[in-house]
A and B are shown apart, each in its own frame.
Chain A
Amino acid sequence: MASNDTTKHGQHHQEAFPWKHIIGFLLSLVLTFGSLWFVLGSHLPSQAVISAIVILAVFQAMIQLFLFMHLTETFGPNYQQFLIFFAFFIAFTVVAGSIWIMAFKSYVA
């Protein structure tokens, strides 16, 4: 393919400096340290710590999806966003449903 064609392609899609990526990277570092602080620094009860770090993880996953993976970028209908959200719904159903169902031992015991 013509490599001089490259310059024409989508330069206007891209800012001159990768701000999005740098902000995303810094935020992910901050969130990771945040989790670390909750585990080591805060002296909250363990249930609270777990809730906090799971929430931070969700935020961090969203950074990857939106800032790095361009989940919202689309040329035509945005089916991928719907599919990824549906995948998260199924994943949640599998994890939460299994925990709920497999707690059956406490009934049996």
Chain B
Amino acid sequence: MNPAVRHFILTFFPHNVLELGADGAIIMASLAIVFVLTYFKKWKWLWREYLTTVDHKKIGIMYIIAAITMLFRGGSDAILMRSQLAFPNEHFLSANHYDEIFTTHGTVMILFMAMPFVIGLFNVAVPLQIGARDVAFPYLNAISFWLFFVAALLFNLSFVVGGSPNAGWTSYTPLAGAHFDPGPGENYYLIALQITGIGTIATGVNFLVTILKMRAPGMTLMRMPMFTWSVLITSILIIFAFPVLAVDLALLLIDRLFGAHFFTISAGGMPMQWVNLFWIWGHPEVYIVILPLFGVFSEVVATFSRKRLFGYGAMVVSLLAISILSFVVWVHHFFTMGAGVGVNDFFGVSTMLIAVPTGVKMFNWLFTMWRGRVEFAMPMLWALAFIPTFLIGGLSGVMLAVAPADYQYHNSYFLVAHFHYVLVGGTVFGCFAGMYYWWPKMFGVKLDERTGRWAFWTWIVSFNVCFLPMFVVGLMGMTRRMYTYPAGLGWMPYNFVETIGAYGMAIGFVLMVYNIVYSIRKGERDLTGDPWDGRTLEWSTTSPAPEYNFAVTPVVHDRDEWWYQKYVDKSKKEKPVIRPIHMPNNSGRPITLAAGFGLAGFGFVFAWYVPAILGLLIVLICLGARSFELNTDHYIPVDVIERTEAAAGRL
């Protein structure tokens, strides 16, 4: 064999049995997908209906499917970690392999699972809730999705070629600098996050403009559904937080590739400044992945209590308060840096203040249920599970906000338990609540209740079995990210229980997938468009909604407009006049542009500048072609709309 090729293979491809097996599985799965698509002649359909689409509903579906896949990927990491820690002194995984796994677990779960899931829900629900035909910039929306998708592929490619990043999802310098971590893994992290971050900023801009400028007539800001409010606030957080991450990632990449000295120890660099910038983004980021779910809970709780949301105004004010406070608390992630009494006091107090608006929201959900006719449907079950779980997570967070005490909790399993209680209990349960709630709107079929309950209870019990003992073992002194631990410290029973819980959650995930597959085949079809007796506009159109969402733009009179139209408005309904509808054209350019980014990113990972420049050229050409493009949109003629509406029994 050519020595250069041999060197390349030995350097960049794994040579331990576990990793090779995983690589094999990835390759087999990819080949299987290609084979199935080819065998059933679905390529053309896939290209026309999904790969080139600019329809927010389809983009939302793709986001959510990708997020569930990534939940599987990040969950597999978790299972490997828990297997290693079930007993003391295990060496099933090597230290480096364990490092890679906790790094990818965190990164995948936050940036490639939670973010796309949340953004998928934005796409599925927001335009429908505000009575719009699509988002403000549908073409840009497609670019956002494909950038995320390509970034996720690039990040997962690290596992096969070159080795995964291994400096933690926070990637602290100087450990993550070129000196201590020379391999390409860290570059994968920096570049994949950069690419998905660009897409996320675009999403933030897109939804901010959509919500502020494209609401149906009559929908004032204070008549917006609570989910739309939460997306509006989240968009503002994205717009102002993500550029900070972009700079942080770019600077570390410049350090690593071009030998600069931002975060090095030598030549005057400041390693702690990486941490500082990371958390200026990172703290708003945790609100970016929780606030939209607060919105989901507000919708779900009101719908399944058959009551108007309690304290709407207070909800809006607390959202605003949380969004501003979330920008001034970031130091609580590194109290132990030793920034001094003044700094730690300020950020400790501001952190505790966030508990106030969050508590307001908790009480509002409880008061919405109070004396309502609560129906325990699947979305409501997830919302009810959220409240106590998030309460434990939130209160342990207030404990962590006490700076002197934090010196004890810092980097222990107590912290790990805390953020899993908020991120799983808040974000993941919220995503599931939203998924069950809007599934009929996405696919025209309800997710089955009976199998859904099996998945639900398995999840809830296993989650607590897995994470509650971590509070204890954390206080006993077990620190996070340790790849193995000695016997005789009394940690083993707790760890063993935690591992049982982790496997239980895996079973819960499998049951949930079964629930979805079962429902697609045998689930109850939703022919009304309004399976839950909903309150907001997305339930006024068919399930799934037609391409143009609403045959005629609705006029809004009330906060719960659809409820108002169903039960309050007794005036005679005039027959709507249908006019041609103006819609954007599909385009293959977003996916091409994202592929260009992917190629450039892959080039930069290995500092191969030919593919890097080639990829950037593709991006530039796509941008230029778009600038000169004339036919960007079309009209749907009246007879097509009438036929579609008639087929749905709406005329």
Contacts and interface: CB of A to CB of B under 8 A. Distances in A.
A51 B62 CA distance: 52
A94 B244 contact: yes
A108 to B, nearest CB: 6
Contact of A107 (B240, B270, B280, B340): B340
B328 A97 contact: yes
A26 interface: no
B236 A86 contact: yes
B205 to A, nearest CB: 10
A101 B343 contact: yes
A14 B116 CA distance: 45
A101 B331 contact: yes
Nearest to B236: A86
A102 B338 contact: no
B327 A93 contact: yes
A48 interface: no
Given A102-B270, A104-B338, A107-B339, A94 B236 contact: no
Interface string A87-109: 10010011001101111100110
A73 to B, nearest CB: 16
B272 interface: yes
A102 B273 contact: yes
A107 B338 contact: yes
Max count, chain B CB within 10 A of own CB: residue among A76, A90, A102, A108? A90
A102 B272 contact: yes
Nearest to B270: A102
B236 A108 contact: no
Given A86-B240, A87-B240, A102-B272, A94 B280 contact: yes
Contacts of A97: 280, 328, 330
B620 interface: no
Contacts of A100: 343
Interface string B264-308: 000000101100110010000000000000000000000000000
B340 A104 contact: yes
B240 A104 contact: no
B636 interface: no
Contacts of B276: 98, 101-102
Contacts, number: 41
Q: Is the interface of B mostly helix, strand, loop or mixed?
A: helix
Contacts of A93: 327-328
A98 B274 CA distance: 11
A101 B327 contact: no
A55 B160 CA distance: 54
Interface in A75-90: 76-77, 79, 83, 86-87, 90
Nearest to B241: A90
Contacts of B337: 104
B212 interface: yes
A104 B280 contact: no
A75 to B, nearest CB: 11
Contacts of A107: 338-340
A100 B239 CA distance: 24
Interface string B308-331: 000000000000000000011011
Max count, chain B CB within 10 A of own CB: residue among A83, A94, A101: A101
A12 B295 CA distance: 45
Contact of A104 (B244, B327, B339): B339
A90 B240 contact: yes
Interface in B222-240: 236, 239-240
A14 B343 CA distance: 51
B648 to A, nearest CB: 34
Interface in B184-220: 212-213
B189 to A, nearest CB: 23
12 contacts: A83-B236, A86-B240, A90-B240, A90-B327, A97-B280, A97-B330, A98-B280, A101-B331, A102-B272, A102-B273, A104-B343, A107-B338
Interface of A: 76-77, 79, 83, 86-87, 90, 93-94, 97-98, 100-104, 107-108
Interface of B: 212-213, 236, 239-240, 244, 270, 272-273, 276-277, 280, 327-328, 330-331, 337-340, 343
